[in-house]
Amino acid sequence: MTVRMTQALLSLASALAPGPAPGPAPVADGLFPRLTATEFRQLRHQTKNALQRILFMIDAHPALRQTEASRAVAADLHRRILLTAEISDALFGLTHEPAPFAERLAGLCEAMTALLGAPGQDIRLRLRLAEPCPEPLQEAVLRVAHELVGNAVKHGLYARLAGEIEVRLENDGSELRLLVLDDGWGWTEPMVAGEGLSLARVIATREAGRVTLDRKGNRTVAMLALPLVDAPAG
């Protein structure tokens, strides 16, 4: 119950987050007006309170403290709920004000890898995020990174004992590129785009960019490429 409650809260908050939605308007757009700063502050406060209560219930539940196995399950639930909140903060600032862009992107990649990785799986994450990202493109980069890193963990490294994901941000003056490389399985032909890759492409198209997926040697290379605009870098 607690996990389903948390997912419902985070899904609702994501739907209500300020800013344009990619592609066709979701159902939530027809039900709720765009939130003002005060309303979003109240949503943030309510969500934080709800998550804190859920975590307290997990930590205090007698049945989850009786055996070593049950304590391990409780600890893992606690950890994954905190990671889910951390991801939502990096994307939407759901429980606290968003950090600077580079910190948000690094935290997002780290939390996605930790959340979606299987127990005992050794996934090494390498981040090369020194390049500046123009402010108008930051939200698109964060949202596509969420999908590409998630795909690398869920699909590329599925059932692998160990693997590596590398995330790069490159800026050559005319194009900004986010690259997510993994040494996982790759894909079988014909390759069918799932929800994550489809979302990434919708977000990229909105910014006149593109998302590609290639296999180079033993690594899958997912890339977001966005044309640079005349704007200060973040």
Alpha-carbon distance of 20 to 93, in angstroms, equals 16
pLDDT at residue 184 greater than cutoff 60: yes
- Note the pLDDT tens digit of each residue in 137-152: 999 999 999 999 999 9
pLDDT above 90 (res 127): yes
Report in angstroms the alpha-carbon separations of 39 from 16, 29, 35, 97, 156: 10, 16, 6, 14, 39
pLDDT of residue 190: 64
E strand or H helix at 220? strand 219-227
Instruction: Express each pLDDT in 99-126 by its tens digit.
Output: 899 999 999 999 999 999 988 899 999 9
pLDDT number for residue 25: 37
| pLDDT, tens digit (0-9, with 9 covering 90-100), for 23-77 | 333 444 444 456 677 777 787 788 888 888 888 888 888 888 889 999 998 998 8
pLDDT > 50? residue 13: no
pLDDT, residue 119, reads: 85
Spell out the domain ranges in the chain.
Answer: 1-98, 99-234
Average pLDDT of span 86-98: 86
Q: What percent of the chain has pLDDT over 90?
A: 48
Please give the pLDDT value at position 29: 42
Q: What is the pLDDT of residue 6?
A: 46
Stretch 161-183: mean pLDDT: 95
pLDDT for residue 33:
58
Could you give the CA distance from residue 122 to residue 137 in angstroms, rounded to a whole number? Answer: 32
pLDDT classification of 17: cutoffs 50, 70, 90: very low
CATH class of 99-234: alpha beta
Helix axes 68-92, 2-16, angle to 10 degrees: 0
Alpha-carbon distance of 125 to 175, in angstroms, equals 24
What three-state secondary structure class fits 198?
A: helix
Task: Compute the distance between CA of residue 172 and CA of residue 177 in angstroms, rounded to an integer.
Answer: 9
- Under the banding of pLDDT at 50, 70 and 90, the label for residue 188 is low
Please say if the pLDDT value at position 2 is more than 50.
no
